[in-house]
Structure 1
Amino acid sequence: MTMQSSPYISFPGNASEAFPYYRDLFGGRLDLMTYDAMPSMEGFPFTPPPGSVAHATLEAPGITLTGGDNMGEDLPQLASEVYSFLLAFDSTEDAHTFIAKVADGGGEIAMPFEPAPWGDHYGQVRDRFGIRWDVMVDGSTG
């Protein structure tokens, strides 16, 4: 069986801001389609706000993110302690650079990046959209 995994994030109306941010953060190629660009909305069970993202895919080295804008009222916030995305870096320098870039871009450090009891380096940073990124470097390579 062949399989690939890609997180799909349903943004609360700000996917058009989030995906360019993630492209700047990770690099790669971004494909973004708004509902406005779709040939026909006939038969859709909702009327999306102008500029809403129907689907976006960011393909960058080591990560693929997909998502779009969620529709409806009282949409859940993205910030949560029940999920995160784990990023494994080759060096502590690369990990520190990533964490600083997220924090400097309006995010916050949720757990300092430092040696962990199990031997790796580990920390957490939450970006300005509420997504928590767990950052690690294997202790044998760090």
Structure 2
Amino acid sequence: MSVRLVPYVSFPGNGREVLDYYTEIFGGSLNTASYTDFPMEGMPFTPPADALAHGHLDAGAVQLAGGDWICPENPADPLENNAYSFLLELDSTDEAEALIEKFTSTGSEVAMPFEKAPWGGHYGQVKDKFGVLWAFSVEG
């Protein structure tokens, strides 16, 4: 069986901005579609013209997809939430530190310094400017 996990995020109306930002951080290619790219006949709702219907970032090992949540009766939760984080496992501390620098130089904040962990590896966390927690791990 061949399977790949691609997290899907329902953005609170800023999906295009968030995915553009992650493309700036990770590189790769971003494909997006707005609702105006699809036939609206038969849709049970009228989405905002500029809403992101679907976006997919393919940056190799980092894959992320999502779209704007557009249900007015049940507004989207903000991205900032303590229930999840994205864990990035890197091969070296230099790679992790370079990626952390990319995040922090564009408005993210260190939530936990990247340093040697009790289990022998290195670990740290960054909360990006949208409130998403990214964890960085390098095995010992």
For normalisation by structure 2, the TM-score amounts to 0.93
Alignment of 1:48-87 (within 5 A): 48-73=47-72, 74-87=75-88
SS in 2 for 1:20: helix
Partner Cα separation in structure 2 for residue 126 and residue 70 of structure 1: 22
Matched length: 138
SS in 1 for 2:102: helix
SS in 2 for 1:86: strand
- Cα deviation code 1:10-41 (max 9, x no counterpart): 11000111111111111111110011222x11
Structure 1: state its 5+ residue gaps: none
CA root-mean-square deviation: 1.1
Structure 2: state its 5+ residue gaps: none
SS in 1 for 2:118: coil
Partner Cα separation in structure 2 for residue 77 and residue 32 of structure 1: 21
Partner of 1:137: 138
Partner of 1:21: 21
Partner of 2:11: 11
Shift >6 Å, 4+ stretches = none
For normalisation by structure 1, the TM-score amounts to 0.92
Deviation at 1:71, TM superposition (A): 1.1
Deviation at 1:60, TM superposition (A): 0.7
Alignment of 1:40-55 (within 5 A): 40-55=39-54
